[in-house]
Amino acid sequence: MLRELLVSAILLGSAIAAPALAEGPGSDSKHQSRSFPAARLHQVDRALEEAVAKGLLPGAVVLIAWDGEIVHHEAVGTLDAAAAAMPKDAIFRIGSMTKPVVTAAAMVMVEQGRLGLHEPVTRYVPEFAGLRVQTRSTDAAGNAILGTAPPARPISIHDLMRHTSGFTYSFTGPATDPIRKAYLDQGIEQIEADLPADEMVRRLAGTASAWASRSARRTACPPPRAARATPPGSA
């Protein structure tokens, strides 16, 4: 079970459908809430309005729910280039929603003592035992030299949660980046065909990690707490 959870944290692909939330009493009236101070809800609206005014985004919809009840629901800015007002029921394209779901599930297991935040990922996904990181240097003439090296420390479960594991995407970085090319050549991000998770992990394990050379070498990893997590396979 722990392996499947962590592989999900690594791959992070599918969208999750959220259950419907009931409109609570007074939810149609601005800042009517039994659980949240109106002044703080005003701050949320002001922050979004300022972002729109600065041109950081054209518009937004904010919805805050508590215990299955919507306690705040507002729209700011515009929906499109035609400057139509943003409706509260606007439809947005969203992604990466596996991340918070998997992380929340993992944190429950941390709370239960079944998983340690600072445990190495290789304890559950041993394919990454030989993972290398990309290095960058320059020669005497100032030309870039790219290479690989062992990471300063193993990738931890905590790294998966905070985006410091070094795993990246094929569409980021310069077009000449060898890691970007490797992602494409290995078909790590299959879009047109299904790719089993174990096969994706196998391909990913054979590709150098893009940013771990920064995160693993520069980010101090607190020592593991007293071992409380159960051995792999016993959960």
Active site residues: 96
Angstrom distance (rounded) from CA 171 to CA 166: 15
Q: Which of 232, 227, 7, 234 is nearest to 113 (CA)?
A: 227
Q: Find all residues with CB under 8 Å of 184, minimum gap 6, and list them.
A: 170
Q: Where are the beta strands (DSSP E) in the chain?
A: 22-23, 59-66, 69-77, 133-138, 144-149
d(CA 139, CA 19): 56
